[in-house]
Amino acid sequence: MPLPGALDSHALELFERYLQEFLAEHARRDPVAGQIAYHFGLDAPHGTRHGKRLRPRLVMAAAAAYGARPERTLHACTAIELLHNYSLVHDDIEDGDELRHGRQTLWAKYGLPHGVNGGDAVGALAHLALAGAAQTHGAEAAFDMSMDLARANLRMCEGQSLDLALESGARATTGVYLEMIEGKTAALFGCAAALGARCASAADDEVEHCREIGRLFGLGFQILDDVLGIWGSTESTGKVAAGDIARRKKTFPVIWAMERDPSGAGGAVLEVYGNATIPTQAEVARLRALLEECGAYRAASEAADNYLTSALSRAQGTKPLSDFIMQNRT
C-alpha cells in the first residue's frame, strides 16, 4: 500500500531501519533484549509480517501536510510505534492471546512475568525514543511531544480499564463503548497526528487540528475493525473468522444489538456470552447471522463511515492527511 501524498515506500523503509537501529542500541541487556527482539520479529527472516505501521505513517502524513520531510519524523515515528507495541504486549496478556501475526506472543513464549516486564521495557523505550527530538526540533517542541506521548499513554490505560470492566460484566452501552475506544484507540492516533504536526513546527491550532483528525480516524478505524472482527474473512484480516464472537468480545455491533434488540440478537448474545464454555462454531455462526439480521452490521458500518468521513472532511486542504484516510478507510 503506497504511503500518503508525496510519501513513498522509501520513507517507510527509512523508518524501519531507524527503528531497528534504535532497538539494537537501547535493548542490549539479556534477557529482555532478546524478548524485545522476538516481539518485533528482529530474530526472524527478512519479510516477517509486522503490521501496517499506521501510526508512524500518520505521523509522516501530518508532518508532510505542513511541509516536513520524513527524516524529521523518525524520533516521533519510533516513539509512537513503540508505545503502540507496548500496549499490544499487555493486551495479549490481558486477553489471553497466544498468537500474533502467526507467532507466539511474548508472554506465551517466555511466560507471564517476562511478558509483563518486556511490555514495560517497550513502553520505557517509547519515551526514550524522543530523547533526540530536542536536537532536531528544539527543547520546547521535544517537551510538548513527550507530554503528548505521556497523555496518550494514560488515556490508553484508562480505555483498557473500561474494556476490562466490560469484559467482567459491567453494563455495556454504546456510550461506554465509545468512551472506551476514545482512550484505547483514538487517543494514540490523535497523538500520532499531533506529533507529526509538531515535527513540522506547526502552530498550536494546527497541532490540535491534526490531533482531532487523528482522533476521528481512530474512532472510525476501531469500529471498522469491530465489523471485520465478526464479518471479515481470514484471508482479508489474517485472523480467525468471527473471532471476536468466539472470544466473547463486546464490540460495537454486539453492544448495539444488546441495546436495540434485547429480545432477539441481544438476548442471544447474553445467553452465549454468559456461558462458562467457549462458544461452539454453530453458536458463533448463529450469532453472526442474528447480528446482521437485526441491523447491527449496518449500524456499525455506518458509524465507522461517519467518523472516517468526518476525519476526511477536516483533512481537506492537507492532502497527505486526506490521502492517508482515503487509503485506510476500507
What domains sit in the chain, N to C, each tagged with a CATH number? Answer: 9-327 (1.10.600.10)
> Nearest CA to 122 among 74, 152, 89?
89
- The gap from C-alpha 9 to its chain's centroid, in whole angstroms, comes to 21
Look-up of cell digits 484505547: 184
Residue 140 confidence (pLDDT) above 90: yes
Q: pTM to 2 decimals?
A: 0.91
Look-up of cell digits 453458536: 283
- The gap from C-alpha 156 to its chain's centroid, in whole angstroms, comes to 10
Residue 330, pLDDT score: 73
Phi/psi at 279 (nearest 5 deg)? Answer: -60, 140
Instruction: Output Rg (C-alpha) for the chain, integer angstroms.
Output: 20
CB atoms within 10 A of CB 8: 12
List pLDDT tens digits, range 192-246: 999 999 999 999 999 999 999 999 999 999 999 999 999 986 555 455 556 788 8
Q: Is the Cα torsion angle 95, 52, 226, 160 positive or negative in sign? A: positive
List pLDDT tens digits, range 13-70: 999 999 988 988 876 666 888 899 899 988 776 545 567 899 999 999 999 999 999 9
Residue 151 confidence (pLDDT) above 90: yes
